[in-house]
Amino acid sequence: MAKYTIKRLLYMIPVLFGVAFLVFTILSLTPGDPGTIILGITAKPEDIAALNAEFGYDQPFLIRFFNYIGDIIFHFDLGTSYQSRQPVIEDIIARFPNTLKLTIFSMSLSAILGISLGILSAVRQYSKLDHICVVTALIFASIPGFWLGLMLLLIFALKLRVLPSYGAGTLRHFILPTLTVSMTSAAGLLRLTRSAMLETVRQEYIRTAKAKGASEKRVIWKHALRNALLPVITTLGTSFGASLGGAIIAETVFAMPGMGTLITTAIRQKDIPVVMGSTLFLATLFSLIILIVDLLYAFIDPRIKAKYQSGGKSRG
């Protein structure tokens, strides 16, 4: 297991490097140089050149990239905002906690709702409850998160006035955004859990367990569930990414100061260092989550776990 973990950790290095290169390359396609963006086209050419030199923009592309990476690794410096001239990392530190909270709340809610209802739905296949779950999940999977947010806002904050409509001061502020973000991914998880569970109960080993005299309940909880949850766990990483994406949009709806509003504002102001720094920061976080999910998966599935414990050998 340690061997597998180390192997996966080492693999993260080139992947993260690749992610940085990808993001840097895409954002370097932005037309215009920092001098012109900050000072405007009417500014004196020498002022623009001086500013460009300050941002290191006079260097060729690859040198700029390696300087950027070097600054991140050695100085924990994600660049300087064109607008505020402050280090990007400060903006991130100020905004990130809200986004993280929202993402974690939403992930938890959607996992609890999606997985438990998915199991219930599969166990009672063809029942009324199953039918309702499946149709409701399909409907929620078709509702854009932001529109759900707007409707919740309309009902609970503006008409009923029971919950705050914007900001991020208290936990109450997180209720509506959490619902907004989690419904879509709960719907996805429900569908996935249900189909994984149905697939599992069709397996022969389930029949073997029944032939031993195991009750329906025992067959489901002891034999089917663990096997069914394996594919669900592999997608938890992706659904974290989806929740993060949902959070970014929900922040706009609920005017919540988070990474989403930081990035969209920066895009409007052409503040490329902020966009780049924030994107890289979130992508790194996301990669780590995927890594953790993979390790968790390996820990639960004996086939993978043992493969790495015994150095890849398995007895025939």
Partner 1 sequence: MEKKEAVLEVKDLSVIYKSDLETVYAVNHISFSIEKGETLGLVGETGAGKTTTALGIMRLLPQRTARFTSGEILLEGVDLKNLSEKEMLKIRGEKVSMIFQDPMTALNPVLTVGDQIGEAIFLHNENNLSKKEIDQKVEEMMEMVGIPKERKNEYPYQFSGGMRQRVVIAMALVCNPEVLIADEPTTALDVTIQAQILSMICDLQRQYQTSVIMITHDLGVVAETCDKVAIMYAGEIVEYGTLAQIFTGEAHHPYTTGLFGSIPSLTQNTRRLHPIEGLMPDPTNLPKGCKFAPRCEKCMEICRQEAPQVSINDGHQIRCHLYMKKEA
Partner 2 sequence: MVKKKTRKHAQLAEIWRRYRKNKTAVVGLVILMFILFIVIFADLIVPYSKCIEQVGAERLQPPSLQHFFGTDEYGRDLFARVIHGARYSLFIGVATSLMALVIGAILGASAGYFGGIVDNVICRIMDVFMCVPPILLSLAVVAALGSNLRNLIIAITISCIPGNVRLIRSVVLTVAEQDYVEAAKSYGTNNARIIFRYVLPNAVGPIIVNTTMAISDMILSAAGLSFIGMGIQPPSPEWGALLSSAQTFIFSSPYLLIFPGIFIVLTSLSFNLVGDGLTDALDPKLKD
Which residues lie near partner 1 (CB under 8 A)? Answer: 126, 203-205, 207-216, 218, 222-223, 226-227, 230, 300-303, 306, 314-316
Contacted by 303, from partner 1, partner 2, none: CB < 5 to 8 Å by type: partner 1
The least CB distance from residue 199 to partner 2, in Å, is 8
Contacts to partner 2 by CB under 8 A: 14-16, 18-19, 21-23, 26-30, 134-135, 138-139, 141-147, 150-151, 153-154, 158, 198-199, 202, 241-242, 244-245, 248-249, 252-253, 260, 263-264, 266-268, 272, 275-276, 279, 282-283, 286-287, 290
∠ Cα 305 295 21 (to 5°): 135
Closer residue to partner 2, CB minimum distance, 45 or 161: 161
The pair of structure tokens assigned to 79 is 């660049």
Closer residue to partner 1, CB minimum distance, 44 or 207: 207
Closer residue to partner 2, CB minimum distance, 115 or 242: 242
Contacted by 162, from partner 1, partner 2, none: CB < 5 to 8 Å by type: none
The pair of structure tokens assigned to 198 is 């149905």
Q: How far is CA 60 from CA 167, 241, 273, in A?
A: 42, 33, 17
Alpha-carbon distance of 72 to 310, in angstroms, equals: 38
Closer residue to partner 2, CB minimum distance, 43 or 154: 154
Contacted by 2, from partner 1, partner 2, none: CB < 5 to 8 Å by type: none
The least CB distance from residue 181 to partner 2, in Å, is 12
CB 79 within 8 A of CB 273: yes
The least CB distance from residue 309 to partner 2, in Å, is 24
The least CB distance from residue 237 to partner 1, in Å, is 21
The pair of structure tokens assigned to 182 is 């989690």
| Residue 44 CB burial class (10 angstroms; 0-12, 13-18, ≥19) | exposed
Closer residue to partner 1, CB minimum distance, 128 or 315: 315
Contacted by 226, from partner 1, partner 2, none: CB < 5 to 8 Å by type: partner 1
The pair of structure tokens assigned to 316 is 């025939």
The least CB distance from residue 137 to partner 2, in Å, is 9
CB 254 within 8 A of CB 247: no
Closer residue to partner 2, CB minimum distance, 27 or 230: 27
CB 76 within 8 A of CB 90: no
The least CB distance from residue 154 to partner 2, in Å, is 5
Q: Which segments of the chain are extended strands (E)?
A: none
Q: Which residue has the tokens 């990669």?
A: 287
Contacts of 274 (CB under 8 A, 6+ apart): 79, 81, 82, 83, 88, 91, 262, 263, 266
The pair of structure tokens assigned to 73 is 């690794």
Closer residue to partner 1, CB minimum distance, 54 or 301: 301
Task: With H, G, I as helix, E, B as strand and everything else as coil, classify residue 27.
Answer: helix
The least CB distance from residue 134 to partner 1, in Å, is 17
